[in-house]
Chain A
Amino acid sequence: MKILVTVKRVEDPEAKIKVKPDGTGIVTEGINYKVNPFDEIAVEEGLRLRDAHGGEVVIVSCGSEASTTEVRSALAMGADRGILVKTDQTLDPDAVARILVKLVEQESPDLVIMGKQAVDDDQNQAGQRFAQYMGWGQATQASKRANLESEDEKARKPGLVISGETVEVTREVDGGLEDVRLKLPALVSADLRLNLPRYASLPGIMKAKKKPFQNLTPEELGVDITPKITAKRFLSPPMRQAGEMVPDVPTLIKKLAEEAKAI
């Protein structure tokens, strides 16, 4: 089976993000970038499914030339080939969804796995939009019942169950889990507890460079990426104000009620 997995280049979640003084974006100098953590889980799931059912895992990223690094790190984990849809423009989730539609027309995968959201702008939209355009079934927030310490997890058993023309997915929903079955091809988006992504091995890193890698552009795919959403202004969250010591509990309650209006 053919599995297409998306990866996005995002700011290292541990980096200290600063907003540019003019509010047009964040300061990118000196920031480390990484594969979006949810996408790593998606890649891992793709690899497990491939190893169980055969076929190939194709990695797709949309973004600047620099995203080559993130595609390569997915290849280093063991994926088979990579595609970068290169643009220096800011992409909104709808543009990404429409780029994927075109790619899927070319590639005809049986399954597309994405991270449930990217940790940079936390939109949580691209997957849903893509499935909608395709008219596919979608299972967002894919998880599994086996816990991450279990023997199944150690043996790298896939969490998604594919049999014949369908895939069974356990989803995270408010207060519990939900099992769904979808007809293939389908879209699945990965949540945190689906698996523990593997480390890349050294031979994997060395081989990644030699794996097939295709560069495309939105123009070549015929996708208009003019954003439908634009960011007006970026602001830092307000600094935390210094606390105030109150003499006793009654004062505290009074302040909470009257000033903070919290009770």
Chain B
Amino acid sequence: MAEFQCDVRDLKFALLEQARIEKLFDHPRFEELDRDTVEAILDEAYKFARNQMAPMNPIGDREGASFDPATGKVTMPAPFKETYDLYTANGWLGFVHNPDYGGQGMPYSLGMAVNDLFFGGCLSFSLGPLLTTGAAHLIETFGNDELKKIYLENMYTGKWTGTMCLTEAGAGSDVGAVRARARKEGDYYLIEGEKIFISFGEHDLSENIIHAVLARTEGAPKGTRGISLFLVPKTRVNADGTLGEDNDVKCTGIEHKMGIHASPTCTLTFGENGRCKGWLLGEENKGMRAMFQMMNEARIQVGLQGASLANAAYQYSLQYAKERVQGKDILAGKGSPDVTIDRHPDVRQMLLQQKAIGEGTRALLLRTGFFLDMAEVSTDPEEKERYNGLVELLTPIAKGYSTDQGFKATELAIQVLGGYGYLSEYPVEQYMRDMKIASIYEGTNGIQALDLIGRKLPARDGADMKNLIGMMTKSVQPHASHPLLAADVAIFTKARDALVAGATHFAKVGRDRPLSPILNATAFLDLMGSVVVGWLLLEQALIAWPRFEDICRAKNVDALDSKATRGICEEDPDAAYLHDKIKVAQFNARRNLALCPAKAAILQAGDESAMEAML
């Protein structure tokens, strides 16, 4: 059985038919793109993910990155270097970044689709490039011209990699507690402190590593308002761009962990010998603001990891279920032949649930990426603000909901395989272990929920939420009497109303009972995620329906006659794909969206027992 598989058709559908990124091609920045090119890019990325990345995924898991305490060096599993060199040489690293600095200037939405494939191929590998572009983008936005000249091209082309150094032993979710220090010495600073959990903090893929480090200058105010951002190279760079002296950054260990074994999680000591130079990015004490600019992008990418591994796990369990013979059709008589497990109703439900999660969150991520593109290219300030607002609002959902649900999907994939799913010999348990980190890093999902209710909902007096609700309503409401999907549209409408009721409730009680929204933040994120993903799946079904009808009409078959359409779907994979877009939307509406009114009722009920318990 083929290991890593992605339904690239679904990726293309969500990108081109649903998000309709073709709109972007009118913009001068993307004028070289067209549909064929987008498809060619996705096909090539899939080829790279399957042939080059996926074979090293289990190797990375088994061998992991290794640390030598004597030298402080980290060695990556053997195939990683070759793949990294090919990946960078082929232009994938700076895919969405500035062409003036060696990037490829592609739209975010397309970059997300490409990363969907790469994360699925090998997540631990893909984190290196992700952090590199994250750090480089900080330099591009906040660095002075000289820093940009020295670092950017080398990073966007992958010659040097980058990291994001926020976390310390005492500063995890509370970034304001950072204690690393920076002392000004002329045009640079001397950095001192220890960072932990730094992904790709040390490795042997590139000749230099550029750290983006949060630290405090002397006399800086307490908390987040006293944090500054610095660029700290592992090896200093001479004015002519050649590598100079060692910069006194040392890796003192890597963590042993549940998943992403080939992504080294490093403890880094800066300035042990008082010789670690850093350069300020942006202004002193404005480091958090800089980080926040980065966060949308990084969080959306982490959300994508949820969708991507959910889909990879689903594809594997689907293939497996079609081949594994066990038991008989429960309704067939005695002596009936044994069947493959995909005939068992419980297994089918698990498969459909995974499909709903995987394809629904994928649609959410790609749409959010498209909004990000629209916010960038749009010239009308009002439109720009609207798209920016949507991205802001959707970011905690895209991150939190996709990774929580994505984890569930990988867990269901194990369940579909039964005992074999639990074995290392099969890839699904690795997907689950690799996936778990996504609900923790880049701000835990608990922090995402607080961000959603505390910052994003009230922002611009709730205008973003109104826009989102309006957009959902506009796309679904006209189909209230749809020949096939009317009942599902009605379920969605109720779910949407429940979401509005939940948000209104928070606004109402928040002032008098501030604990209530906080206690229900995660529940609200889940409710909102269900509604948004339910909407996107329904929208896909509404797009699929007329096309499915066309296929049926061409064969003189009534599209509503499920017995008759079965034959068409068996013959024609395109018809089957469209048919199942409709089925998964119905399944999701009836089994997941239908729960939304209850979810809203729970968060309005004001249960505080968790706070009252003695624990």
Contact = CB atoms under 8 A, between A and B. Distances in A.
Nearest to B86: A199
A135 to B, nearest CB: 38
A31 B574 CA distance: 8
B37 interface: yes
Contacts of A21: 571
Given A29-B575, A30-B574, A199 B40 contact: no
A239 B89 CA distance: 46
A199 B91 CA distance: 11
Contact of B90 (A30, A69, A202, A208): A202
A199 B47 contact: yes
A201 interface: yes
Contacts of B32: 206, 209
Contacts of B89: 201
B160 interface: no
A30 B578 CA distance: 11
B40 A76 contact: yes
B114 to A, nearest CB: 9
Interface in A155-176: none
B577 A30 contact: yes
B48 interface: yes
Nearest to A208: B40
A246 B48 CA distance: 47
Contact of B572 (A27, A201, A205): A27
Interface string A236-247: 000000100000
Contacts of A73: 40, 43-44
A29 B574 contact: yes
Contacts of B48: 199
Nearest to B87: A199
A203 B104 contact: yes
Contacts of A14: 2
B189 interface: no
A29 B47 CA distance: 22
A203 B94 CA distance: 12
Contacts of A209: 32, 37
Contacts of B573: 16, 29-31
- Which of A72, A199, A203, A208: most chain B CB closer than 10 A? A199
A69 B575 contact: no
A206 B41 CA distance: 9
B37 A206 contact: yes
Given A14-B2, A73-B40, A209-B37, A202 B95 contact: yes
Contacts of B104: 202-203
A202 B575 contact: no
Interface in B557-598: 571-577
Interface residues of A, number: 23
Interface in A19-48: 21, 27, 29-31
Interface in A39-91: 69, 72-73, 76
B44 A76 contact: yes
A242 B572 CA distance: 27
A18 interface: yes
A199 B106 CA distance: 19
Contacts of B576: 30
Interface in B389-421: none
A219 B579 CA distance: 42
B52 interface: yes
B304 to A, nearest CB: 19
B90 A201 contact: yes
A200 B44 contact: yes
A202 B47 contact: no
Contact of A205 (B44, B51, B575): B44
B92 interface: yes
Interface residues of B, number: 28
A14 B315 CA distance: 15
Contacts of B100: none
B288 to A, nearest CB: 34
B36 interface: yes
Interface in A223-258: 242
Contacts of A203: 91, 104
A182 to B, nearest CB: 32
A95 to B, nearest CB: 27
A21 B567 CA distance: 12
Nearest to A30: B573
B37 A199 contact: no
Contacts of B92: 202
B2 A30 contact: no
Interface string B451-492: 000000000000000000000000000000000000000000
Nearest to A209: B37
Contacts of A242: 337
Contact of A72 (B40, B572, B575): B40
B29 to A, nearest CB: 13
A69 B40 contact: yes
Contacts of B572: 27, 29-30
Contacts of B44: 73, 76, 199-200, 202, 205
Contacts of A18: 571
A27 B568 CA distance: 11
- Which of B36, B41, B90, B92: most chain A CB closer than 10 A? B90
B571 A202 contact: no
- Which of A14, A18, A200, A208: most chain B CB closer than 10 A? A200
A203 to B, nearest CB: 5
Interface in A184-237: 199-206, 208-209
A69 B36 contact: yes
Contact of B52 (A30, A72, A199, A205): A199
A27 B2 CA distance: 23
Contacts of A69: 36, 40
B574 A201 contact: no
Contact of B40 (A30, A31, A205): A205
Contacts of B2: 14
Contacts of A200: 40, 44, 90
B600 to A, nearest CB: 40
Nearest to B95: A202
B166 to A, nearest CB: 31
A76 B42 CA distance: 13
Interface string B23-37: 000000000100011
Nearest to A242: B337
Contacts of A204: 90
Interface string B101-134: 0001010000000000000000000000000000
Contacts of A199: 44, 47-48, 51-52, 86, 90
Contacts of A202: 41, 44, 90-92, 95, 104, 106
A69 to B, nearest CB: 7
Interface string B45-77: 001100110000000000000000000000000
Contacts of A206: 32, 37
Nearest to B570: A18
B356 to A, nearest CB: 22
Contacts of B571: 18, 21, 27, 29
**Closest A-B pairs by Cβ, 7 of them:** A30-B573, A202-B91, A30-B574, A201-B90, A29-B572, A200-B44, A201-B91
26 contacts: A18-B571, A21-B571, A29-B573, A29-B574, A30-B574, A30-B577, A72-B36, A73-B40, A76-B44, A199-B44, A199-B48, A199-B90, A200-B40, A200-B44, A200-B90, A201-B91, A202-B90, A202-B92, A202-B104, A202-B106, A204-B90, A205-B40, A206-B32, A208-B40, A209-B37, A242-B337
Given A73-B40, A73-B43, A206-B37, 14 more contacts: A14-B2, A29-B573, A31-B573, A76-B40, A76-B44, A199-B48, A199-B51, A201-B89, A202-B44, A202-B92, A202-B104, A205-B40, A208-B40, A242-B337
Interface of B: 2, 32, 36-37, 40-41, 43-44, 47-48, 51-52, 86, 89-92, 95, 104, 106, 337, 571-577
